[in-house]
Amino acid sequence: MQRTKAARTRTSPAEQGDNRAALVFLAPWFVGLALITVGPITASLYLSFTDYSLLDAPEWTGLDNYIAMANDPRLFTSLRVTFTYVFVSVPLQLAAALGLALFLDRGLRGLPIYRSVFYLPSLLGASVAVAILWRRIFGNAGLINQLLGMIGFENAPGWIAHPDYALGTLIVFNVWTFGSPMVIFLAGLRQIPNDLYEASAIDGAGKLRQFRSVTIPLLTPIIFFNLVLQIIFAFQAFTQAFVVSGGTGGPIDSTLFYTLYLYEEGFANLHMGYASAMAWLLLVIIAALTAVNFFASKYWVFYND
Amino acid sequence: MIYPLLWMVASSFKPNALIFRDPSLIPSELDLTNYTAGWTALTHPFTHYLMNSFVIVAGAVLGNLVSCSMAAYAFARLNFRGRKLWFAVMLMSIMLPIHVVIVPQYILFSQLDWINTYLPLVVPKLLATDAFFIFLMVQFFRGIPRDLTEAAHIDGAGHGRIFLQIMLPLSTPALATTAIFTFIWTWNDFFSQLIFLTDPEMYTVPVALRTFVDSTSDSSWGSLMAMSVVSLVPIFLLFLFGQRYLVRGIATTGLK
């Protein structure tokens, strides 16, 4: 017994070589992990319990930041704005992506130009330039109102300047960039074996029945993947709201995204401690939602293995 | 879908008075004044911001290619102690929102006197902090037949040679996807450039465009549109030439 155990734990020369080589190949990553990721995470947790303006040393204040957050009406506004944005735009975006993917998969196979047309907005959508474009399209004298004017609707509101509609335009913006989930859906659709459709057709299933009983169940892992990723991305949205609202989250905080408020507190007001506490709440929210997603997936995601 | 983008391009060639009255896509005349006026509207000519962006992008692409491929080789081919644990750590770091680390990173970089330099935007890439690309390359490396590397090993090649002379040459699709996406994400990145670059001398394209928005009255919207178009040209060209790789890269990994 003793001997076999010793033999098992002793490393062979090849394994030793691998250990040494791994240290070399992973050296940059290890340094980055320590200095740029784990160190800052730890520091951020510490700072979230302090009052820190960057100019003086951080001063330990215990739970003060978290208590202040619980009593901060703007924080709750930003949470409401962000949750509305995520829970309205992500389902719409995925529905659009799936719809178009089904259409492209059946009707227009092998026409990359169509794929590009739908994908391009996603690539450009994160840029300041396209956020500027959005501001112009939904502005007072913008494209939307010109088009509305042409079909007889005068006196349309200045969408981005109106607190009731500003967030809506940003939701439309996010839905418009559905190209990335669409490409992933397309890849998933290609992997569904054709014989399943043929077999179900022989059993007398119509197109709608096939969609419900073959396509959707086999696509659930991809739907789940897209859902998890897009929720995580949507919570971190910043550029759109920053540019469209001119950095203020206005009108009257109707587009005050959580990240925008975090930026304002940390880098404009130099409340670094408060901003750190906000960052930790964001991390907890994203982690919790991802966990809920994974838990719920047991009931609706179908793995074919 | 791309009507808004086409409208932007069309508007950039129209005189200001026409932009808000004429939604058509074909400008009645090709007017370049928006471009000439926009190019010099800020403290520095727009070429300056383009160059700044290109420097950062080049550093980021190079950094990601070198450091992420190295880490990926270790995870895909080396049987080292704690591999599973570190792999899990790497996967978790992909999900981490930048907002959690940005404040301490800012403090760290400001103490190193790196604010208003390109170092905070390039050095992390050299340290493989874009773990997403490690994951992408691990997936790709795993698909390369082991026979190839084992044969080289028997012939006496070390890991350095196997990595440089076998793995990397066979991995052009994965390397190209990494390069293209690093280019696009860094070019578009606004949040960290806004935070780390506050001196107009160092501004990149997105940060410069944003100051343009704030300083623009309605009469120069045409110039702003023109410069917005200019800022999208590099991504558009890259998309045009890299499409083949992009679609494959996305199809296998599902990234944004």
Q: Is the pLDDT of residue B252 over 80?
A: no
Taking an 8 Å cut-off on Cβ atoms, the answer to whether B20 and A266 are in contact is no
pLDDT one-digit tens code per residue, A83-133: 999 999 999 999 999 998 888 877 655 566 777 788 888 888 888 989 988
Interface confidence (ipTM) of the complex: 0.88
Q: If you measure CA to CA, which chain B residue comes closest to A238?
A: B191
Chain B residues with CB-CB distance to A19 below 8 A: 80-81
Average pLDDT over residues B224-233: 91
Q: Is A175 on the interface with B (CB under 8 A)?
A: no
Q: Among B187, B101, B204, B94, which residue's Cα sits nearest to residue A266?
A: B101
Q: Which residues of B touch A229 (CB under 8 A)?
A: 254, 256
Q: What's the pLDDT at A6?
A: 46
A96 touches chain B (CB under 8 A): no
Q: Of residues B119 and B144, which shows the higher confidence score? A: B119
Tell whether the model's pLDDT for residue B221 goes beyond 70.
Answer: yes
Residue B88 confidence (pLDDT): 93
Task: Tell me the whole-structure pTM to 2 decimals.
Answer: 0.88
> Mean pLDDT across the stretch B118-128?
95
Instruction: Please state, in angstroms and as integers, the Cα–Cα distance from residue A31 to each residue in A39, B4, B75, B84, following that order.
Output: 10, 44, 16, 19
Chain B positions in Cβ-Cβ contact with residue A14 (cut-off 8 Å) = 79
| pLDDT tens-place string over residues A145-178 | 878 877 877 777 778 878 888 899 999 999 999 9
Nearest residue in chain B measured CA to CA from A267: B195
Residue B144 pLDDT class (50, 70, 90 cuts): confident
Task: Calculate Rg over the CA atoms of chain A.
Answer: 25
The answer to which of A2-6, A213-217, B236-240 has the lowest mean pLDDT is A2-6
**Inter-chain CB proximity B7 and A124 less than 8 Å:** no
- The closest CB to that of A28, out of B126, B235, B256, belongs to B126
Q: Is the pLDDT at B7 greater than 80, yes or no? A: yes
Distance from CA of B161 to the nearest CA of A (A): 12
CB contact under 8 A, B213 and A132: yes
**Separation of alpha carbons A120 and B235, rounded Å:** 10
Residue B22's pLDDT band, with cuts at 50, 70 and 90, is: low
Closest CA to A163 of A221, A81, A103: A81
Amino acid at A21: A
Tell me the pLDDT tens digit for each residue of A183-204.
Answer: 888 888 888 888 888 888 888 8
Q: Give the separation between CA B244 and CA B237, rounded to whole angstroms.
A: 13
Contact A116 B20 (CB under 8 A): no
- Whether the pLDDT of residue B255 is over 50: the answer is no
Predicted local distance difference test score (pLDDT) of residue B220: 77
Which chain A positions have a beta carbon within 8 Å of B210's beta carbon? 128, 242-243
The tens digit of pLDDT for each residue in A8-21 reads 555 677 777 788 88
DSSP string, A2-50: HHHHHHHHSPPHHHHHHHHHHHHHHHHHHHHIIIIIIHHHHHHHHHTTE
Mean pLDDT computed over every residue of chain A: 86
Q: What is the per-residue pLDDT across B204-214, written as a single tens digit (0 to 9) for each? A: 999 999 888 87
Within 8 A by CB and 6+ apart from B169, the residues are none
pLDDT over 70, % of chain A: 93
What's the rounded mean pLDDT across residues A234-250?
87
Q: Hey, are the CB atoms on A44 and B210 less than 8 Å from each other?
A: no
Task: Kindly state whether B251 is in contact with chain A, defined as any CB-CB distance less than 8 angstroms.
Answer: yes
More confident residue, A21 or B14: A21
* Cβ pairs bridging A and B (under 8 Å): 245
Q: Is the pLDDT of residue B254 over 90?
A: no
Question: Residues of chain B with pLDDT > 70: what percent?
Answer: 89
Interface of B with A in 48-77 (CB under 8 A): 66-67, 70-71, 73-74
Six-digit token string for A50: 């302090």
> Which tokens in the block code for residue B37?
């006026």
Q: What is the pLDDT of residues B177-186, one digit of tens each?
A: 899 989 999 9
pLDDT of residue B56: 96
Chain B residues 86-115 within an 8 A CB cutoff of chain A: 86, 89-90, 93, 95-108, 110
- Is any Cβ of chain B less than 8 angstroms from the Cβ of A204? no
* B250 pLDDT higher than 60: no
Average of per-residue pLDDT across A281-305: 88
